[in-house]
Structure 1
């Protein structure tokens, strides 16, 4: 009865606030207190001009959300669910039922990239997603759901991809010669969180720019809606992060450009449970130090007088070093807790985009080559070795007339894995007939999408895609040879196919003069087979519907909404009836009002349905942003956010911990 009353109260409150904001939208534009109200826009633009299910979280929304982790930045995207999420250690990102789970931080089916460098991609036991980086370093996050649209990014991307773009100096200098700076301070009440982010930007000439960022984030023990501490034994975290980025453009028309970015984050936790997901002490306690680095060097050549050449050469390097020291626990976990993990990935990607055609047919053709080298240290809980990947890809946007776009895509990839000698010596001591490799695999994958845009703002689209997740270094650990009947996963790739069908609408002056309405609905069905990532599973079938919508009026009133409906079913020896990665159905609704460029007020409702043993819940977030445009406060931003405003006790379907209760956040920022 109590839960029913709470839900009724929350829904009534949501309706009340919605009504108040609708009423505010009718206020006269010459109201002396509110000031002149300009053309409104919602917080998030719906990407209606593409068949790819993609969502972009821009700088304005990043600031508005006051997120503590990258995961929290994207949790409002339909199809995206979190494993925990309030702190980097023990959190993970799930897209369409794939990605992180409660055992491993990744299943290799969701790609995460920082300026093109792959990060957080290793299947380390109970160490989370390894996505240790700070939201303050980034100006945009793009989330691609499913396989279509990812063939230029990598293979085996079944759930989707998260693409992070770091800030640029010109974002603060305005592209003009001189200096720029920004200081951000933030406090969050739940866990006494503190954030300080300092950005310095310098543009000595129009063609040269440099940016430096130092961010320090601290978070103590949080409490849930019932006031109980969440993983108190995990203690407080302190995570300093840094970013350096420089860009130099040259040539008669600046057709050449070189960009270098380097970011790093460190974290230290002493005498904490080894299991970062749930804090389960049965795995023992350890001291853990984590170092994460991502760097990218990009060369671009885009001559104005040659549409056949738009060249990009990208060299990236990512490094993560996780040092773990046994503190206490049963004897059988000593080796696990003393295991040090390090993996490095170097990637060279060369691609060119050409625009050509004749008559009513125009091609936007991207072709490229990728060379990837991954090195992983042998540990007691993870095999080590090297993996060399060579990939070729072609993606062609074919525009036929003004309405039809057809996009075929193809990717061919080979992989060569060599096991670490220390790992081989260990296995040969037990299995004399062990296959010592090297291990070679290859695959060809691709897809086709089509979109037709009607002249009245409507569009329809569909796609089919096939991809393979080639064996990885982790697959070395399955015993094989004449002494074992285990499957030889090092030679078995996981395969998937996805079909999508959808419609979109984007138009202005729909209900009233100056308003804007956009929405996009995508239905999908995915089948994964030859499964090697999950024990007891041979095939997984998932299907769902994702909806994104936005509406804004010229007086500043706006609504953003998205919904996610998904089903998942596993097949095999496992007794599961619901796929373990299936999130609960949910809906997000944000209602807000902007007053000029000075004040933005919004009320967000998040509702999640009951699934399996996870109860339904409704939570509400309130946000206010004040940005004076004149006087001594010009350039200052004040943000107040109240997350889980009614202190609801809940736990999301995929999380291993209760969610935080009410959290009041205050952010002060100044751009100079």
Structure 2
């Protein structure tokens, strides 16, 4: 489909969907029957809130939903967000995160177009050849995960962000102690029938005084090879994944207006005799692969009472990923025996100020970053250092009449240097680059609950160490990838729509991105630019009776433009999809829900409909803070399918059982 035809289709679809936001449930249609999959437009969600109060396309997954989804990896946790798709799932090593067609592409598990932040530390933006996203951290460690799609909300996190940002926030001791002095804890056991998966997660929170708290978490996850819908075992999908988190916080000063927070997490993976290619596409050979991911951060915060101009944080973070590989065999392959190490040290200082000026209220976040990346030289991964300095500012301006304006900017400089001789580069060669990037968003809210918004955002991806690996490195080490994204949308948020105790929230977002000076990917030499566009919809409806409905949808398309003047479909876009959840809570004791995930045919990948059931029962023990029994049945009809962009079949029916108790 040509991109101009897709543009018309998206505009028509978005108009129809915006009108349908005020409608009730229609009849669903299975994509397998060959007709359109968007016959169902419904509203609501009692598990995930739609972010209707911002122009930024953001989805927030809270602690309750993290537990409810029973995900095996962070990638699986966020694949229900519109615009997000996975290049494989089921294992941490072979999974990659793709947002709006950028990020994981089947050759590389990640790149800087999708930023991943864990407690302020930057992770997993290296173009590591065929070894997944490098995001091994267990979902049990987090209290909240947010996904920002596109560029407009990314300037305080990094440059070159086109797909989006994944923000991971680890749990706090106060989440368990609720601010009271004493010891609290939570123990969770899980078992998944498909692949014989066993999970144990132990969390202890101790608050010896009002101003001091400590947290310890240890999670062990073990999985065998899973079976697909046809009952065939999918090789090399088993793994062991032990993780731990240590965290402490000390508050001091007048009214405890200062604090120091220390966080340290580590996840290891030890795989034996597995394909080097984690995407299982090319038979390079097998390796024994040990991966150790460590993230450490120390944050100082100062927020004096009565001073709206100062809300300061200074975060020093360190992310270290070590990958040790040994070939199974004796060919002596440099690729299969390569060890990798990526170390990123970052200091971020940020202040938030609230003030009135020029007839408007301002919420100004401004700060700076010093970043040092160091990478070990290895086959397919040239080593070196990438030192950067950045300044950023985001000013949320509220004019008080429903109209708000948010300009944002980021200025970043770079000194990038090769550490060893490569195929083309010599040790010590260095390049200096700098870019100024920015954008602006506007939002107008009506008294009726409707709001309209729009934005334009420009970003530039500075050269990365991988670019030393090209014969044309002298050009590409001085050329930034550039992209501009336009967004336009509307939202609706109202209490008392059909009755006095119901709530409806909905958000429709159209976007268009143009990327040029393309230097990433194995096809860099022939590509002139990339054009992508789409529409994303999130809606939720909840009723006082406990009934709730959730819907999200994504339609998108893209086009390669080559240097010879020809064009072709951009093959990395996610499939058009629709997600629907219908559920009911009974007196805060029982939560039952049904979820359907429907996708449309895209190129050679057939569409599919997968159905999941979930139930949570709160057990009243009389002596525990809480106890919950969870039962999930995923792919209940044992559907055989392979998601678009994936290189292996998805899991068949999987029964998941969890028991959690808190004291």
TM-score, normalization by structure 1: 0.90
Give the superposition deviation at 1:566.
0.2
CA distance change for structure 1 residues 464 and 5 in 2, over 3 Å: closer, same or farther?
Answer: closer
Give the superposition deviation at 1:107.
2.6
Where 1:383 maps in the other structure, the secondary structure is coil
| 1:483 counterpart residue number | none
Could you tell me which of 114, 131, 136 is aligned with 2:140?
136
Distance 2:240 2:157 in 1: 32
The reply on whether 1:126 has 2:101 as its aligned counterpart is no
Give the superposition deviation at 1:633.
6.5
* Mapping of residues 486-635 of structure 1, within 5 Å: 488-534=475-521, 535=523, 536-572=526-562, 577-629=568-620, 631=622, 635=626
Give the superposition deviation at 1:328.
2.7
Where 1:555 maps in the other structure, the secondary structure is coil
Give the superposition deviation at 1:367.
1.0
CA distance change for structure 1 residues 634 and 318 in 2, over 3 Å: closer, same or farther?
Answer: closer
Where 2:81 maps in the other structure, the secondary structure is coil
Alpha-carbon contact 2:421-2:427 (below 8 Å) kept: no
Alpha-carbon contact 2:91-2:237 (below 8 Å) kept: no
| 2:21 counterpart residue number | none
| 1:343 counterpart residue number | 342
Distance 1:418 1:358 in 2: 44
| 2:170 counterpart residue number | 166
| 1:60 counterpart residue number | 64
The CA deviation string for residues 50-90 of structure 1, in whole angstroms up to 9 with x for no partner, is: 00000000001001000000011111111111111211010
Where 1:328 maps in the other structure, the secondary structure is coil
Distance 1:532 1:359 in 2: 43
The reply on whether 1:84 has 2:84 as its aligned counterpart is no
Distance 1:492 1:370 in 2: 22
Distance 1:603 1:670 in 2: 25
Alpha-carbon contact 2:132-2:279 (below 8 Å) kept: yes
Alpha-carbon contact 1:628-1:634 (below 8 Å) kept: no
Give the superposition deviation at 1:272.
1.1
The CA deviation string for residues 388-424 of structure 1, in whole angstroms up to 9 with x for no partner, is: 000001110111014111000111100001110x325
Give the superposition deviation at 1:513.
1.6
The CA deviation string for residues 449-506 of structure 1, in whole angstroms up to 9 with x for no partner, is: 00011111110000000000000111111125xxxxx772111110000000000000
Give the superposition deviation at 1:7.
4.6
Could you tell me which of 633, 640, 656 is aligned with 1:649?
640
Give the superposition deviation at 1:101.
1.4
* Mapping of residues 144-543 of structure 1, within 5 Å: 144-230=148-234, 232=235, 234=236, 236-278=238-280, 280=282, 282-328=283-329, 331=331, 334-358=333-357, 360-420=359-419, 422-423=420-421, 427=424, 437-480=429-472, 488-534=475-521, 535=523, 536-543=526-533
Q: Which deviates more, 244-253 or 557-566?
A: 244-253
CA distance change for structure 1 residues 576 and 262 in 2, over 3 Å: closer, same or farther?
Answer: farther
Alpha-carbon contact 1:217-1:238 (below 8 Å) kept: yes
Distance 2:427 2:404 in 1: 48
CA distance change for structure 1 residues 214 and 598 in 2, over 3 Å: closer, same or farther?
Answer: same
Alpha-carbon contact 2:424-2:468 (below 8 Å) kept: no
| 2:6 counterpart residue number | none
Distance 2:290 2:134 in 1: 12
Alpha-carbon contact 1:41-1:556 (below 8 Å) kept: no
Distance 1:644 1:292 in 2: 31
Distance 1:527 1:538 in 2: 11
Distance 1:312 1:107 in 2: 27
RMSD, matched Cα: 2.3
The CA deviation string for residues 371-403 of structure 1, in whole angstroms up to 9 with x for no partner, is: 000000001221100110000011101110141
Alpha-carbon contact 2:619-2:629 (below 8 Å) kept: no
Q: Which deviates more, 590-599 or 354-363?
A: 354-363
| 1:108 counterpart residue number | 112
Unaligned runs of 5+ in 2: 1-28
CA distance change for structure 1 residues 394 and 288 in 2, over 3 Å: closer, same or farther?
Answer: same
The CA deviation string for residues 118-149 of structure 1, in whole angstroms up to 9 with x for no partner, is: 11121111111100110000011000000001
CA distance change for structure 1 residues 629 and 470 in 2, over 3 Å: closer, same or farther?
Answer: same
The CA deviation string for residues 179-216 of structure 1, in whole angstroms up to 9 with x for no partner, is: 00111000001100010001111000111110000000
Distance 2:512 2:104 in 1: 20
Alpha-carbon contact 2:31-2:600 (below 8 Å) kept: no
Give the superposition deviation at 1:360.
4.2
CA distance change for structure 1 residues 111 and 41 in 2, over 3 Å: closer, same or farther?
Answer: closer
The reply on whether 1:636 has 2:627 as its aligned counterpart is yes
Alpha-carbon contact 1:82-1:94 (below 8 Å) kept: yes
Where 2:477 maps in the other structure, the secondary structure is helix
Alpha-carbon contact 2:31-2:598 (below 8 Å) kept: no
Alpha-carbon contact 2:51-2:58 (below 8 Å) kept: yes
Distance 1:563 1:210 in 2: 41
| 1:70 counterpart residue number | 74
Where 1:655 maps in the other structure, the secondary structure is coil
Where 1:71 maps in the other structure, the secondary structure is helix
The CA deviation string for residues 304-327 of structure 1, in whole angstroms up to 9 with x for no partner, is: 121111101011000000000111
CA distance change for structure 1 residues 573 and 191 in 2, over 3 Å: closer, same or farther?
Answer: farther
Alpha-carbon contact 1:235-1:272 (below 8 Å) kept: no
Distance 1:468 1:69 in 2: 30
Distance 2:345 2:567 in 1: 38
Alpha-carbon contact 1:378-1:423 (below 8 Å) kept: no
The CA deviation string for residues 574-593 of structure 1, in whole angstroms up to 9 with x for no partner, is: 98722121111000000000
TM-score, normalization by structure 2: 0.92
Distance 2:291 2:45 in 1: 41
Distance 1:353 1:285 in 2: 50
Distance 1:363 1:6 in 2: 48
Give the superposition deviation at 1:279.
5.9
